[in-house]
Amino acid sequence: MINKTKRRIFDIIQIGQETDLVSRLFDYLIILVIIANIACMFLETFDELAPWYDLMRGIEYVTLLFFIFEYVLRIWTAEYLYPTRTKKMAILKFLVSFDGIVDLLTILPFFFLSGFVVFRMLRVVRILHLFRINANYDSFNVIWTVLYEKRNQIASSVFIVMVLLCASSLGMYSAEHEAQPDVFKNVFSGIWWATSTLLTVGYGDIYPVTVIGKCMGILTAFLGVGVVAIPTGIISAGFVEQYTKAANANGGLEVNIQTVVVDIDSRWIGLTADEIRRKDDVVVVLVKRNTVVMQPGSDYLVEVGDAMAVYRDVK
């Protein structure tokens, strides 16, 4: 009876499926609690709302208790999230997982890290997680995939920007220090000017007055337009490649795809799509769980009853 109740609690606190009304209501409750907590955090900065501070503080206490209670439940039911591991190892894996760390960092600032109230904004990540429609090929995952695949090119372009930033700041400091000793006091002042110029912000709080300095400013502005645009082009090309790969994969593998329904004796239960590919050379293309069809992401775990479209990975 206890295990059955525990399993039901786990199903409720996980992202709900369309057929599980209670779980979906719990998701919406979390969203409301997070919004209420963050709204109070912002409203407390308005002196005009001082008479309402006690009410807002009370709402914060209530929402914090809700976060703590939910965190304890997730630790208690971690064995169902990682069924292939022992209970202690499942709890440990949840504690060091991304979701576990985010949950912890949204609670700790209230008790020990009052100066790090910005950590409470991590709760917004929870909302983004709840709103995910597709487990693998949603917008956030595509962005992450593109950034990861293009990491070397992006790093190279950032390195070029940093070199240009340092060169511009040193050059401007040398050209303007004598003319404006109070404005260009050191190289950092040059870095501040170079950053606002390269990124085309141009605050205007620091600017050159000498002829050489103005010429360097014109050159830096032109170079900034071209150099800062490089990462944008790399990322744009990455998006095109990503969607092209998806289109080719969907069009070229249909004849080899088979449908597999996971039963209670399947050795894939509790594994991710990546683990299945490494162990059995089987690629999971699509998954139908209840009435939801999705592409398996890194956080997808096989469950009993999943209908999976798979094909053999020929190396």
Range list of H helices, the chain: 2-13, 21-43, 53-76, 78-81, 87-96, 98-105, 108-111, 123-130, 139-149, 151-176, 187-198, 211-252, 273-280
- The domain locations on the chain are 2-131, 149-250, 255-312
Confidence category of residue 137, pLDDT binned at 50, 70, 90: very low
Contacts of 239 (CB under 8 A, 6+ apart): 142, 146
Per-residue pLDDT tens over the stretch 270-294:
888 888 888 888 888 888 877 677 7
Range list of H helices, 177-257: 187-198, 211-252
On the question of pLDDT at 180 being above 70, the answer is yes
Per-residue pLDDT tens over the stretch 51-64:
898 898 899 889 88
Instruction: Please report the pLDDT score of residue 269 as a whole number.
Output: 86
On the question of pLDDT at 138 being above 80, the answer is no
Instruction: Please report the pLDDT score of residue 288 as a whole number.
Output: 81
On the question of pLDDT at 85 being above 50, the answer is yes
d(CA 58, CA 180): 53
d(CA 75, CA 78): 5
d(CA 204, CA 171): 18
- Architecture per CATH, 255-312: 2-Layer Sandwich (3.30)
Contacts of 304 (CB under 8 A, 6+ apart): 262, 263, 264, 266, 269
- Token pair of 213 as six digits: 């300095």
Q: How many CB atoms neighbour CB 152 within 10 A?
A: 9
Which pTM value belongs to this model? Answer: 0.52
Letter string b/e over residues 89-102, b meaning 16 or more CB atoms within 10 A of that residue's CB: ebbbebeebeebeb
Domain 2-131 carries which CATH code? 1.20.120
CA 158 to chain centre: 21
* Beta sheet of 307-312, edge-to-edge order: 258-261, 307-312, 282-289, 292-294
Q: Which of 121, 162, 148 is nearest to 34 (CA)?
A: 121
Domain 149-250 carries which CATH code? 1.10.287.70
3-state secondary structure of 309: strand
Q: Do domains 2-131 and 255-312 have the same CATH topology?
A: no
